[in-house]
Amino acid sequence: MSRRATPRERVVTVQASALETITTEVFGSAPDLETGGILLGYAASDSADLHVTVAGDPGPNALHEPRRFLRDPAHAQTLADREWADHQAVWIGEWHTHPAAGPKPSDIDLRSYLQHLEDPDLQFTEFLSLIVANTDAGPTVAAWIVTSTYLIEASLSVSECQPDR
């Protein structure tokens, strides 16, 4: 197995409108159950940054449990198809909440990300995970970049710029 260098620092930029979708969903959903959705956007061509342009809502057939969230695949696909057609935004990851745990991916989360990474049809080389956790200081968001060989926490920044629509 070849050794791969772990990138020292990665930046994830989230469009303010995408963060607003997440915030609206988090505050409008049952506080003791997980919720989430897909993340769409693109990798910057000139750096290692990832840009999230759209956050999906969970969809009507999502499964919400205290320690598990399963998105509605048909709903996610419809959104992904639309964003690809309109803005060439691709599926780069997912966001979900941890009402009862910290903002680190759980073993269940990591297993599902690895499944995505190993699925040749999906063509992921890395998977972005945004986790919204409840802490004593209030809700906090952490960004994680997962590959088949490492998990790193990325720094998160919010962009006010709107893409052309």
Task: Write out the residues near Zn ion by the rule CB under 5 A.
Answer: 106, 109
Tell me how far apart the alpha carbons of residues 65 and 123 are, in angstroms, rounded to a whole number.
28
Which one, of 101, 39, 107, 109, lies nearest residue 69 by Cα? Answer: 109
Q: Which residue lies nearer to Zn ion by CB, 76 or 89?
A: 76
Nearest-approach distance from CB 69 to Zn ion, in angstroms: 7
Q: Which residue lies nearer to Zn ion by CB, 89 or 143?
A: 143
End-to-end CA distance of the chain: 44
Q: Which residue lies nearer to Zn ion by CB, 10 or 98?
A: 98
Nearest-approach distance from CB 98 to Zn ion, in angstroms: 5
Nearest-approach distance from CB 106 to Zn ion, in angstroms: 4
Nearest-approach distance from CB 86 to Zn ion, in angstroms: 29
Nearest-approach distance from CB 140 to Zn ion, in angstroms: 14
Which one, of 118, 105, 120, 104, lies nearest residue 148 by Cα? Answer: 118
Q: Which residue lies nearer to Zn ion by CB, 48 or 114?
A: 114
Which one, of 46, 48, 56, 112, lies nearest residue 84 by Cα? Answer: 56
Task: Give the CB-nearest residue to Zn ion.
Answer: 109
Sign of CA dihedral 154, 117, 131, 85: positive
Which one, of 22, 17, 49, lies nearest residue 38 by Cα? Answer: 22
